[in-house]
């Protein structure tokens, strides 16, 4: 899809979306494009004010910095979840349903679930977010 900035002969500016440049020309010739303000069919394309600024090329150091920052963010998320969510382990789906239906007091929980349990939660209208957490090293035997 292409978005064109358009104007009518009366000076009203508006935007039009077209499959491609040929579709614009075909619709214009058939008088199918009209101004939404005055219904004028004398339409012209005008220069767009939209632009994409080139970013500086990434070098190896900036890529490494980004990876380091991403790893740090992952650790921060992991720490926050561990500190602020009750770990219910493999009972996640069961606990989430209890909270959803009011059998348990609402609270933040974390744990694991199977794909089938997740489908059940979705079908019951339980909102949840899967957050992959990096291994802590504590779980290794």
Judge whether 87 lies within some domain: yes
Cα separation, 46 vs 16, whole angstroms? 11
Please say if the pLDDT value at position 140 is more than 60.
no
- pTM of the prediction? 0.49
71 assigned to some structural domain: no
| Residue 98 included in any domain | yes
136 within domain boundaries: no
pLDDT in tens, 54-93: 666 667 778 888 888 888 888 888 899 899 999 999 999 9
29 occurs within a structural domain: yes
**pLDDT for residue 55:** 62
Mean pLDDT value of segment 122-139: 76
Structural domain containing residue 117: 78-126
Would you state the pLDDT for residue 97? 96
Q: What percent of the chain has pLDDT over 70?
A: 87
40 inside domain: yes
Question: Are 82 and 122 part of one and the same domain?
Answer: yes
Query: What is the DSSP secondary-structure string of 28-63?
Result: HHTT----TTT----EEEE------PPPPPP-HHHH
Beta strand pairing status for 109-111 and 43-46?
unpaired
Q: Kindly report which listed range (3-17, 39-53, 118-132) carries the lowest average pLDDT score.
A: 39-53
Q: Is residue 51 part of a domain?
A: no
Contact 128, 85 (CB under 8 A): no
Query: How many distinct structural domains can be found in the chain?
Result: 2
pLDDT of residue 88: 96
Instruction: Please report whether residue 88 resides in a domain.
Output: yes
Q: What is the pLDDT of residue 58?
A: 67
């Amino acid at each position: 899809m292409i978005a064109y900035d358009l104007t009518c002969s009366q000076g009203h500016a508006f935007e039009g979306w077209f499959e491609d440049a040929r579709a614009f020309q075909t619709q214009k010739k058939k008088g199918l494009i009209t101004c939404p303000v005055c219904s004028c069919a004398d339409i012209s394309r005008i220069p767009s004010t939209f632009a994409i600024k080139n970013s500086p090329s990434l070098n190896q150091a900036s890529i490494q910095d980004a990876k380091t920052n991403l790893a740090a963010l992952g650790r921060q998320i992991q720490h926050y979840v561990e500190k602020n969510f009750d770990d219910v382990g493999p009972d996640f789906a069961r606990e989430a349903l209890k909270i959803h239906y009011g059998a348990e007091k609402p609270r933040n929980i974390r744990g694991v679930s199977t794909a089938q349990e997740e489908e059940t939660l979705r079908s019951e209208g339980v909102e949840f977010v899967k957050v992959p957490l990096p291994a802590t090293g504590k779980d290794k035997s």
